[in-house]
């Protein structure tokens, strides 16, 4: 068993901690802190966090195409109207595709808890990731399915 594992906080937990530490109002738009490298590096390390690379999910660089499809979707809606069905193609392409990762991390968390016990600290990592990338209504629905015994994955393997 590892000695001490440091599991990063979820985005929500980090934002709450940041809010508690800095009760003052947001920075003024003319504040020189916006251009301070130290302040921005500190925020990048402490506040902003992303899940590490997971080889199960390829992460191609699609930002440019995503933005182009986003613009095309809104352009199509303006020119052709909101009910024009071919515009939906652009909308479906630019939407984030996190469903697979979301489900996988949710299952990994529950599988880790089942196999290692509720007090095993590294399991919290999976919980943090799925809480950051999954919509809350999905999580609530999956929790209901687990309670009913109808969830489509096994946690004992």
- The pLDDT tens digits of the residues spanning 65-85 come to 666 777 777 777 788 777 777
Superfamily of domain 99-157: Cytochrome c oxidase, subunit VIb (1.10.10.140)
Residue 144 has pLDDT above 90, yes or no: yes
Domain regions of the chain by residue span: 9-49, 63-94, 99-157
Comparing 10-14, 92-96, 121-125, the range with the smallest average pLDDT is 92-96
Q: Alpha-carbon distance 55 to 121, whole Å?
A: 23
The angle formed by the CA atoms of residues 61, 11 and 142, to the nearest 5 degrees, is 85
**φ, ψ dihedrals at 147, nearest 5°:** -60, -35
Give the percent of the chain with pLDDT over 90. 10
Q: Alpha-carbon distance 27 to 84, whole Å?
A: 43
Upper half-sphere CA count for residue 93 (Cβ side, 13 Å)? 18
Q: Alpha-carbon distance 127 to 17, whole Å?
A: 18
Is residue 101 within 8 A of residue 145, CB to CB? The reply is no
Residues 53-76, mean pLDDT to the nearest whole number: 66
Helical H runs in the chain?
Answer: 11-21, 37-46, 63-80, 87-94, 99-116, 123-133, 136-148
């Amino acid at each position: 068993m590892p000695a001490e594992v440091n599991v990063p906080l979820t985005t929500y937990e980090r934002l709450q901690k940041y809010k508690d530490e800095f009760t003052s109002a947001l920075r003024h738009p003319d504040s020189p802190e916006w251009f301070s490298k130290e302040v921005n590096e500190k925020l990048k390390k402490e506040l902003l966090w992303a899940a590490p690379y997971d080889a199960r999910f390829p992460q191609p660089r699609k930002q440019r195409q995503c933005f182009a499809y986003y613009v095309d979707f809104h352009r199509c809606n303006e020119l052709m109207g909101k009910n024009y069905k071919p515009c939906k193609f652009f909308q479906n392409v630019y939407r984030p595709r996190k469903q697979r990762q979301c489900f996988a991390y949710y299952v990994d968390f529950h599988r880790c808890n089942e196999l290692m016990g509720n007090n095993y600290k590294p399991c919290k990592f999976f919980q943090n990731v799925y809480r950051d990338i999954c919509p809350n209504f999905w999580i609530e629905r999956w929790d209901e399915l687990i309670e009913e015994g109808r969830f489509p994955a096994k946690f004992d393997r």
